[in-house]
Amino acid sequence: MYCNYCGKSIQDDANVCAYCGTRVAGVIARKRLVRPRENRKIAGVCMGMAEYFDIDVTVVRVVWLITAFMTGIGFIAYVVAWIVIPDEPYLLPAQAPSGQPVRNP
């Protein structure tokens, strides 16, 4: 890959040019820990943790249940996570531009 600004050869996975410091790649957005609005059982805490850590939700639920029944801390931690972790934002459908009329076939 080449830098568009200085023309030097840089690594393919580089975000900035090592020679001139110009950003050459788009920044990948960080994953946020949120409680999803779909596929949740109680409050979506386990589903949110599974998506954030990229593991199976069943594993997270089993570990959470074992922790809850063995120590009791799991129940308190679940309620705290329910309060602290925000809900996933609503996804609104895109609207047609207002300047152009919508034509039906």
- Give the predicted TM-score (pTM) of the model: 0.58
For the cut 80, the answer to whether the pLDDT of residue 81 exceeds it is yes
Q: Write down the pLDDT at residue 93.
A: 72
* Cβ(24)–Cβ(4) below 8 Å: yes
Looking at per-residue confidence, does 22 or 50 come out higher? 50
CA distances from 46 to 28, 38, 75, 78, 104 (A): 24, 12, 12, 9, 44
Q: Write down the pLDDT at residue 7.
A: 79
Rounded Cα distance between 93 and 27, Å, is 25
Q: Write down the pLDDT at residue 9.
A: 81
Q: Write down the pLDDT at residue 83.
A: 93
